[in-house]
Amino acid sequence: MREFGLAFNRHFERWMFIIIPGSLILGFIFANSLQRFIEWVPYLFAYVTLTMAIGCGLGQLREVMKKPGVMVLTFVIAHVLSPLAAYGIGTLIFGADSPYVVGLVLFTIIPIGVSTVLWVGMSGGSVPLMLAMVVLDSALSPLVVPAGIHLFFDSAVEVKAGPIIIDLLVIIVLPTVIGVALNQMSRGRVQGMVAPYSAPISKFCFVAVVALNASAIAPHLGQLKQDMMKLVPLVVVLVGLCYALGYIGTSRLRYEEQVTVSYATGMRNISLGIVLALGYFSPLAAVPVVLSILIQQPLATVHHYVLQKLNKHKAGESAVPHVR
């Protein structure tokens, strides 16, 4: 059973770029049957967060605190520059009062996505740094997300920060604290003990979150047809821009750190974004976040390919002797 769980987890992560969009489509197809289970989403998501946090101990968090410059730069690019770009592009295309603009900005202020750890490991980045930044960014989300929403939309939409903060504390911060505490008390052994069982279950929970959120949006699909020709390319540009900002903005850092930051700024906790969009805004605000599910993972594959090419090019340049 142990070997089966680990093998399942590896195969899921390898095919995640197909499975996640597939679960989104299934959510639309079986919307009528799934909608009665939508209230389960926060609890499923809390379990996914707990599983992620179990892999991070206080030692890793302390290592990140030794690199405050990298961490601050990451959060500035991810939660300041990217939201400004999202607001500017969205307002230019749809106008400042559009719910699509809310969704675009929401994508950029939600925490870093858990799946970044997988891509950072495959691309030669720092997994401990990435994992610790995911945990820290998630822990800060009750401050960052309401502040970002108020900054951009306080005059345009009614935003109640209190319920958002409570939801984030329950589905993000509390599971994170419990996971880190379990890691610390077991001296890092807990992840190896439970991963063959907890990791596959968390993958099913993640799929369920995506499918259930898609079922919540399905009744509003009729309103989207006329906007899709503008919205889809816009989301592609925004997600790609987030990756590019992270890579270009860290050009003076070591390659390992540059890779790590570029994924951190490009990949977000989309399921949380959908939960917030559906819970506190118009369902149309969730549409850009939903579309980013279809776009984020494929662009992560493209980004991985580009990083490998750039790394080989740099390695080739350093290997060429300088002739005087």
pLDDT at 131: 77
State the Cα angle at 82 between 123 and 113, rounded to 5°.
45
pLDDT at 324: 46
pLDDT at 161: 60
Residues 256 and 203 sit within 8 Å (Cβ to Cβ): no
Q: Could you tell me how far CA 106 lies from the centroid of its own chain?
A: 11
pLDDT below 50 — which residues of the chain? 323-324
Partner residues linked to 268 by β-bridges: 112
CATH topology of domain 2-215+226-313: Na+/H+ antiporter like fold (1.20.1530)
pLDDT tens-digit readout, 57-95: 777 777 767 778 888 999 999 999 999 999 999 999 998
Long-range contact pairs involving 18-21 (C-beta distance under 8 Å, separation at least 24): 19/207, 20/206, 20/207, 20/210, 20/293, 20/297, 21/293, 21/294, 21/297
